[in-house]
């Protein structure tokens, strides 16, 4: 009876297969406001995708790599000092491998990449508005509906004080989210800008998407500035330079380089030179970069100290690591200061899961990036606009890697899900168009 009932459920969803992607889009739209509803929806779509496309998913070599990585992580947890914490830590990784495999099969077209980018930009606007109200209007709220279905905590003045965090737990986490959305939104903005230039004068409604994207990008950029996150600033500047180079806008590249150089000189140049540039560069920027804004920070809170300790742990247990979620306990015992992670994902994985798992993880990420770049450069089936949206996703992927060299986005559920969906989107499109290329060379 149970088997027959399950078959009826799956047959129903087979008839609604085309709607699965739409459910994921709706989930992404509400994700910043209600992570639980978004997660349940995306998880359900992933489950249905696995059931209906199991054979297709299981034949992909990249998914074999993640299966092997899952096995290594489980073995590592079995050797951990605190096995309970280590096995709980697997939930930050293994479910997302399944999500990645399902959505890399579900996402196949550039149209889906655009839809996903649009949804992320639209969904970011309420969060940005809440953040600006939090910082400038002193908004505060603690709201819980049906336990965690809708759970908002808005601290007046931000978290830490003076830095926008909106609905996120920390300003740095919010900055990482904004940076990824800004990159994808900027790609859409450039695409719409090019279309308007080609088509010339049109009626006002045809300009509305471009106007919305312009407002959204400005709002995201302003919010990024007031997160006061050096990581977010650096990623945003990197993205703007990358787009300018991709478009061949040399004047813009020179302008950005001049602004960045001025800020860096104001922050780090010898005193006479620095004083000259500080007349023109606001202290909000240069004092944050060189830590003059927060003097007397304990050595144990410096990233260099954290990285050195993580590397020491990795060398002590190079094969299986100390176990997931072990760094915080070990660091507190050594430094007498609580710290959640070492602000570098790859060092953290080396220390907690060992070098074999970390090298395999990095190898799989490199495979995704390399195949994406190869498709961007070589495929004959991609037009200029499609290349731009693919470039945007690859740039967001690189930004995620860079963010995780100075922070760890793994522990924020929204950021973690968004990261794996971006990787899945790249892989899905690459796999489809690589098949087209192979068929072109071997039509029989």
**What does the pLDDT average to over 294-304?**
79
**What does the pLDDT average to over 384-407?**
94
pLDDT at 295 over 60: yes
Distance from C-alpha of 322 to C-alpha of 174, rounded to nearest angstrom:
29
pLDDT, the chain, mean: 87
Of all residues in the chain, the percent with pLDDT exceeding 90 is 57
pLDDT at 10 over 80: no
Collapsing DSSP to helix, strand or coil, 143 comes out as: strand
DSSP state of 290: T
pLDDT at 169 over 70: yes
Rounded alpha-carbon distances, angstroms, from residue 222 to 52, 128, 175 = 44, 9, 11
Q: At what angle do helices 20-30 and 110-136 cross, to 10 degrees?
A: 20
pLDDT at 11 over 50: no
- List Cβ<8 Å contacts ≥24 apart for 365-373: 365/401, 365/423, 367/62, 367/65, 368/62, 368/397, 368/423, 368/426, 368/427, 368/430, 369/394, 369/397, 369/398, 371/427, 371/430, 371/434, 372/397, 372/426, 372/430
Report whether 160 contacts 99 (CB < 8 A): no
Local confidence band at 282 (pLDDT 50, 70, 90 cut-offs): confident
pLDDT at 111 over 80: yes
The DSSP bridge pattern shows strands 150-154 and 141-145 to be: antiparallel
258, 113, 127, 264: which is closest to 183 by C-alpha?
Answer: 113
**What does the pLDDT average to over 380-403?**
91
Instruction: Give the helix/strand (H/E) hosting 154.
Output: strand 150-154
Can you give the pTM of this predicted structure?
Answer: 0.90
Alpha helices (H) in 94-207, listed in sequence order: 94-106, 110-136, 171-199
Lowest model confidence (mean pLDDT) among 123-132, 148-157, 306-315: 148-157
Identify the pLDDT of residue 2.
38
Identify the pLDDT of residue 269.
85
Identify the pLDDT of residue 239.
93
346, 354, 318: which is closest to 76 by C-alpha?
Answer: 354
């Amino acid at each position: 009876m149970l088997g027959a009932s399950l078959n009826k459920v799956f047959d129903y969803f087979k008839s609604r297969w085309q709607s699965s992607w739409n459910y994921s889009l709706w989930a992404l739209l509400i994700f910043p406001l209600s992570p639980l509803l978004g997660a349940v929806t995306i998880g359900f779509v992933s489950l249905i995708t696995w059931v209906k496309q199991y054979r297709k998913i299981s034949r992909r070599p990249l998914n074999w790599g993640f299966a092997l990585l899952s096995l290594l992580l489980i073995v590592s947890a079995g050797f951990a000092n605190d096995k309970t914490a280590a096995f709980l830590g697997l939930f930050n990784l293994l479910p997302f491998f399944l999500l990645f495999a399902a959505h890399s099969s579900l996402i196949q077209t550039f149209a889906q990449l655009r839809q996903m980018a649009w949804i992320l930009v639209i969904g970011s606007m309420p969060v940005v508005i809440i953040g600006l109200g939090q910082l400038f209007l002193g908004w505060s709220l603690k709201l819980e509906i049906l336990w965690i279905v809708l759970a908002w905590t808005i601290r007046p003045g931000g978290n830490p004080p003076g830095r926008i965090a909106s609905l996120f737990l920390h300003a740095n986490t919010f900055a990482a989210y904004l940076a990824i959305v800004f990159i994808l939104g900027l790609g859409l903005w450039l695409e719409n800008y090019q279309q308007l230039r080609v088509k010339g004068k049109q009626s006002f409604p045809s300009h509305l998407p471009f106007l919305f994207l312009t407002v959204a990008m400005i709002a995201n950029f302003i919010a990024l500035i007031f997160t006061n996150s050096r990581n977010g600033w650096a990623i945003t500047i990197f993205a703007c330079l990358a787009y300018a180079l991709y478009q061949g806008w040399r004047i813009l590249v020179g302008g950005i380089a001049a602004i960045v150089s001025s800020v860096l000189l104001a922050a780090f140049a010898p005193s006479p030179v620095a004083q000259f540039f500080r007349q023109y560069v606001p202290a909000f920027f240069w004092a944050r970069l060189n830590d003059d804004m927060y003097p007397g920070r304990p050595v144990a809170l410096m990233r260099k100290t954290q990285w050195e300790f993580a590397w020491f742990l990795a060398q002590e247990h190079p094969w299986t690591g100390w176990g997931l979620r072990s760094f915080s306990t070990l660091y507190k015992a050594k430094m007498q200061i609580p710290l959640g992670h070492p602000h570098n994902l790859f060092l953290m994985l080396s220390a907690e899961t060992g070098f074999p798992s970390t090298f395999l993880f990095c190898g799989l990420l490199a495979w995704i990036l390399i195949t994406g770049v190869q498709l961007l450069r070589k495929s004959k089936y991609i037009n200029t606009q499609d290349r731009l949206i693919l470039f945007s996703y690859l740039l967001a992927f690189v930004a995620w890697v860079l963010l995780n060299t100075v922070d760890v986005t793994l522990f924020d559920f929204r950021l973690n899900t968004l990261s794996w969906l971006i990787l899945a989107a790249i892989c899905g499109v690459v796999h489809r168009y690589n098949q087209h290329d192979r068929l072109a060379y071997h039509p029989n």
